[in-house]
Amino acid sequence: MNAADVMTKDVITVPPEMTVREAAEILLQHRISAVPVVDAAGKLVGILSEGDLVRRHEIGTERRRSWWLQVFSDTSASGQDYVKSHGLRVADIMTRDVVTADESTSLAEIANRLERYGVKRLPIVRDGRVVGIVSRSNLVRALASVPISVPAAAASDNEIRESVMAHIRAQPWGMPWLTNASVHDGVVEIWGMVNSDDERRAIRVAAESTPGVRAVNDHMMIRPYAAE
Protein backbone atom coordinates (compact mmCIF):
# COMPACT_ATOMS: atom_id res chain seq x y z
CA MET A 1 0.00 0.00 0.00
CA ASN A 2 1.04 3.60 -0.52
CA ALA A 3 0.01 7.03 0.72
CA ALA A 4 -2.84 7.38 -1.78
CA ASP A 5 -4.49 4.24 -0.38
CA VAL A 6 -4.78 5.47 3.21
CA MET A 7 -4.50 9.28 3.22
CA THR A 8 -7.24 11.59 4.46
CA LYS A 9 -8.27 13.57 1.37
CA ASP A 10 -10.52 16.24 2.89
CA VAL A 11 -7.70 18.21 4.48
CA ILE A 12 -8.45 21.30 6.54
CA THR A 13 -5.92 24.07 5.89
CA VAL A 14 -5.34 27.59 7.19
CA PRO A 15 -3.71 30.68 5.64
CA PRO A 16 -0.48 32.07 7.11
CA GLU A 17 -2.14 35.40 7.94
CA MET A 18 -4.79 33.81 10.19
CA THR A 19 -4.49 34.67 13.88
CA VAL A 20 -3.09 32.11 16.28
CA ARG A 21 -6.31 32.19 18.30
CA GLU A 22 -8.44 31.46 15.22
CA ALA A 23 -6.16 28.57 14.27
CA ALA A 24 -6.38 27.14 17.79
CA GLU A 25 -10.18 27.26 17.53
CA ILE A 26 -10.05 25.36 14.23
CA LEU A 27 -7.95 22.61 15.80
CA LEU A 28 -10.47 22.28 18.62
CA GLN A 29 -13.52 22.52 16.39
CA HIS A 30 -12.37 19.76 14.06
CA ARG A 31 -10.64 17.69 16.74
CA ILE A 32 -7.33 17.60 14.91
CA SER A 33 -3.83 18.07 16.29
CA ALA A 34 -2.26 19.85 13.32
CA VAL A 35 -3.21 21.74 10.18
CA PRO A 36 -1.24 22.48 6.99
CA VAL A 37 -0.66 26.15 6.20
CA VAL A 38 -1.14 27.15 2.54
CA ASP A 39 -0.70 30.47 0.77
CA ALA A 40 -3.15 32.21 -1.58
CA ALA A 41 -1.92 30.07 -4.49
CA GLY A 42 -2.61 26.88 -2.53
CA LYS A 43 1.08 26.07 -1.98
CA LEU A 44 2.17 24.43 1.25
CA VAL A 45 4.24 26.90 3.29
CA GLY A 46 4.19 25.32 6.74
CA ILE A 47 2.29 23.28 9.30
CA LEU A 48 0.81 24.34 12.62
CA SER A 49 0.54 21.70 15.33
CA GLU A 50 -0.41 21.59 18.98
CA GLY A 51 3.31 21.59 19.73
CA ASP A 52 3.60 25.07 18.23
CA LEU A 53 0.92 26.30 20.64
CA VAL A 54 2.32 24.88 23.87
CA ARG A 55 4.60 27.81 24.82
CA ARG A 56 2.20 30.78 24.91
CA HIS A 57 2.33 33.85 27.13
CA GLU A 58 -1.49 34.05 27.26
CA ILE A 59 -1.60 30.93 29.42
CA GLY A 60 1.71 31.47 31.21
CA THR A 61 3.60 28.63 29.52
CA GLU A 62 6.20 30.66 27.62
CA ARG A 63 9.76 29.43 27.91
CA ARG A 64 11.76 31.28 30.61
CA ARG A 65 15.51 30.84 30.38
CA SER A 66 17.66 31.47 33.45
CA TRP A 67 19.68 34.69 33.31
CA TRP A 68 23.04 32.90 33.34
CA LEU A 69 21.97 30.67 30.45
CA GLN A 70 20.92 33.74 28.47
CA VAL A 71 24.36 35.28 28.98
CA PHE A 72 26.12 32.33 27.33
CA SER A 73 23.49 31.33 24.77
CA ASP A 74 22.84 32.59 21.28
CA THR A 75 20.43 35.54 21.42
CA SER A 76 18.63 34.18 18.35
CA ALA A 77 17.30 31.30 20.50
CA SER A 78 15.68 33.78 22.88
CA GLY A 79 14.23 35.61 19.91
CA GLN A 80 12.75 32.42 18.54
CA ASP A 81 11.23 31.62 21.92
CA TYR A 82 9.67 35.07 22.08
CA VAL A 83 8.13 34.77 18.62
CA LYS A 84 6.72 31.34 19.47
CA SER A 85 5.08 32.62 22.63
CA HIS A 86 3.96 36.07 21.43
CA GLY A 87 3.45 35.77 17.66
CA LEU A 88 -0.04 36.84 16.59
CA ARG A 89 -0.22 35.18 13.18
CA VAL A 90 0.11 31.58 12.09
CA ALA A 91 3.09 32.55 9.92
CA ASP A 92 4.95 33.64 13.07
CA ILE A 93 4.81 30.33 14.90
CA MET A 94 4.24 27.63 12.29
CA THR A 95 6.86 25.01 11.50
CA ARG A 96 8.31 25.92 8.11
CA ASP A 97 10.48 22.90 7.38
CA VAL A 98 7.65 20.49 6.68
CA VAL A 99 8.34 16.81 6.13
CA THR A 100 6.11 15.68 3.23
CA ALA A 101 5.49 12.74 0.92
CA ASP A 102 3.75 12.19 -2.38
CA GLU A 103 0.87 9.91 -3.27
CA SER A 104 3.11 7.08 -4.45
CA THR A 105 5.20 6.95 -1.25
CA SER A 106 4.97 3.50 0.33
CA LEU A 107 3.59 3.06 3.82
CA ALA A 108 6.96 1.65 4.86
CA GLU A 109 8.64 4.91 3.86
CA ILE A 110 5.85 6.93 5.50
CA ALA A 111 6.52 5.06 8.76
CA ASN A 112 10.27 5.65 8.35
CA ARG A 113 9.79 9.40 7.97
CA LEU A 114 7.39 9.65 10.90
CA GLU A 115 9.94 7.88 13.07
CA ARG A 116 13.06 9.60 11.70
CA TYR A 117 11.74 13.14 12.04
CA GLY A 118 9.63 12.60 15.16
CA VAL A 119 6.42 13.87 13.58
CA LYS A 120 2.88 12.53 13.82
CA ARG A 121 1.62 13.20 10.31
CA LEU A 122 2.86 13.90 6.78
CA PRO A 123 1.13 16.22 4.30
CA ILE A 124 0.84 14.50 0.92
CA VAL A 125 1.67 16.95 -1.84
CA ARG A 126 1.34 17.10 -5.60
CA ASP A 127 3.14 19.95 -7.36
CA GLY A 128 3.53 21.70 -4.01
CA ARG A 129 -0.17 21.55 -3.18
CA VAL A 130 -1.69 19.48 -0.38
CA VAL A 131 -3.86 16.64 -1.67
CA GLY A 132 -4.03 14.61 1.52
CA ILE A 133 -2.47 13.87 4.87
CA VAL A 134 -1.28 10.61 6.44
CA SER A 135 -1.13 10.40 10.22
CA ARG A 136 -0.25 7.66 12.63
CA SER A 137 -3.95 6.90 13.00
CA ASN A 138 -4.21 6.33 9.23
CA LEU A 139 -1.52 3.67 9.54
CA VAL A 140 -3.36 2.08 12.46
CA ARG A 141 -6.58 1.99 10.41
CA ALA A 142 -4.66 0.43 7.50
CA LEU A 143 -3.36 -2.28 9.84
CA ALA A 144 -6.85 -2.96 11.19
CA SER A 145 -8.21 -3.33 7.64
CA VAL A 146 -5.73 -6.01 6.58
CA PRO A 147 -7.61 -9.32 6.30
CA ILE A 148 -6.36 -12.20 8.40
CA SER A 149 -4.65 -14.69 6.13
CA VAL A 150 -5.85 -18.26 6.42
CA PRO A 151 -3.75 -21.11 5.03
CA ALA A 152 -5.33 -22.70 1.97
CA ALA A 153 -4.80 -26.16 3.39
CA ALA A 154 -3.83 -27.45 6.80
CA ALA A 155 -0.08 -28.01 6.91
CA SER A 156 1.42 -31.04 8.58
CA ASP A 157 3.32 -30.63 11.83
CA ASN A 158 6.57 -31.33 9.98
CA GLU A 159 5.80 -28.65 7.37
CA ILE A 160 4.96 -26.17 10.13
CA ARG A 161 8.24 -26.95 11.90
CA GLU A 162 10.22 -26.43 8.69
CA SER A 163 8.44 -23.10 8.11
CA VAL A 164 9.11 -21.93 11.68
CA MET A 165 12.80 -22.76 11.47
CA ALA A 166 13.11 -21.17 8.02
CA HIS A 167 11.41 -18.01 9.32
CA ILE A 168 13.82 -17.79 12.25
CA ARG A 169 16.82 -18.59 10.03
CA ALA A 170 15.94 -15.72 7.67
CA GLN A 171 16.10 -13.06 10.40
CA PRO A 172 19.34 -11.19 11.18
CA TRP A 173 19.07 -12.26 14.82
CA GLY A 174 18.13 -15.84 13.99
CA MET A 175 20.58 -18.49 15.22
CA PRO A 176 18.95 -21.81 14.31
CA TRP A 177 22.00 -23.75 15.46
CA LEU A 178 21.09 -22.65 19.01
CA THR A 179 17.34 -23.07 18.61
CA ASN A 180 15.17 -26.12 18.08
CA ALA A 181 11.45 -26.68 17.78
CA SER A 182 8.94 -29.48 17.72
CA VAL A 183 5.32 -29.29 16.61
CA HIS A 184 2.32 -31.34 17.67
CA ASP A 185 -1.18 -30.51 16.38
CA GLY A 186 0.03 -27.04 15.40
CA VAL A 187 1.44 -26.27 18.86
CA VAL A 188 5.12 -25.28 18.70
CA GLU A 189 7.54 -26.09 21.50
CA ILE A 190 10.75 -24.02 21.26
CA TRP A 191 13.98 -24.73 23.11
CA GLY A 192 17.37 -23.08 22.85
CA MET A 193 19.73 -20.39 24.05
CA VAL A 194 19.29 -16.68 23.26
CA ASN A 195 21.26 -13.53 24.04
CA SER A 196 18.46 -11.37 25.46
CA ASP A 197 14.77 -11.09 26.31
CA ASP A 198 14.26 -9.08 23.11
CA GLU A 199 15.73 -11.90 21.04
CA ARG A 200 13.60 -14.41 22.93
CA ARG A 201 10.42 -12.42 22.18
CA ALA A 202 11.45 -12.02 18.53
CA ILE A 203 11.81 -15.78 18.09
CA ARG A 204 8.46 -16.39 19.78
CA VAL A 205 6.75 -13.82 17.54
CA ALA A 206 8.40 -15.33 14.46
CA ALA A 207 6.97 -18.71 15.41
CA GLU A 208 3.51 -17.31 16.23
CA SER A 209 3.31 -15.51 12.89
CA THR A 210 4.05 -18.66 10.89
CA PRO A 211 0.94 -19.95 9.05
CA GLY A 212 -0.55 -23.02 10.67
CA VAL A 213 0.78 -22.35 14.17
CA ARG A 214 -1.95 -22.54 16.80
CA ALA A 215 0.15 -21.76 19.87
CA VAL A 216 3.77 -21.43 21.01
CA ASN A 217 5.29 -22.70 24.24
CA ASP A 218 8.57 -20.96 25.02
CA HIS A 219 11.26 -23.03 26.76
CA MET A 220 14.20 -20.84 25.72
CA MET A 221 16.88 -19.64 28.13
CA ILE A 222 19.13 -16.58 28.11
CA ARG A 223 22.82 -17.39 27.92
CA PRO A 224 24.44 -16.77 31.33
CA TYR A 225 27.22 -14.53 29.99
CA ALA A 226 24.74 -12.50 27.93
CA ALA A 227 22.73 -11.58 31.05
CA GLU A 228 25.76 -10.09 32.83
118-158 pLDDT, tens digit per residue, is 999 999 999 999 999 999 999 998 888 877 665 555 679 99
Q: How far apart are CA 69 and CA 66, in angstroms?
A: 5
Q: How far apart are CA 98 and CA 16, in angstroms?
A: 14
Q: Boundaries of CATH 3.30.300.130 in the chain?
A: 157-227
Q: CATH for 3-145, among 3.40.50.300, 3.10.580.10, 3.30.360.10, 3.40.50.620?
A: 3.10.580.10
* Strands 215-218 vs 187-194: parallel, antiparallel or unpaired: parallel
Mean pLDDT of 60-67: 68
Q: Which fold has domain 157-227?
A: GMP Synthetase; Chain A, domain 3 (3.30.300)
Q: Boundaries of CATH 3.10.580.10 in the chain?
A: 3-145
Q: How far apart are CA 66 and CA 68, in angstroms?
A: 6
Is residue 71's pLDDT more than 60? no
pTM higher than 0.85, yes or no? no
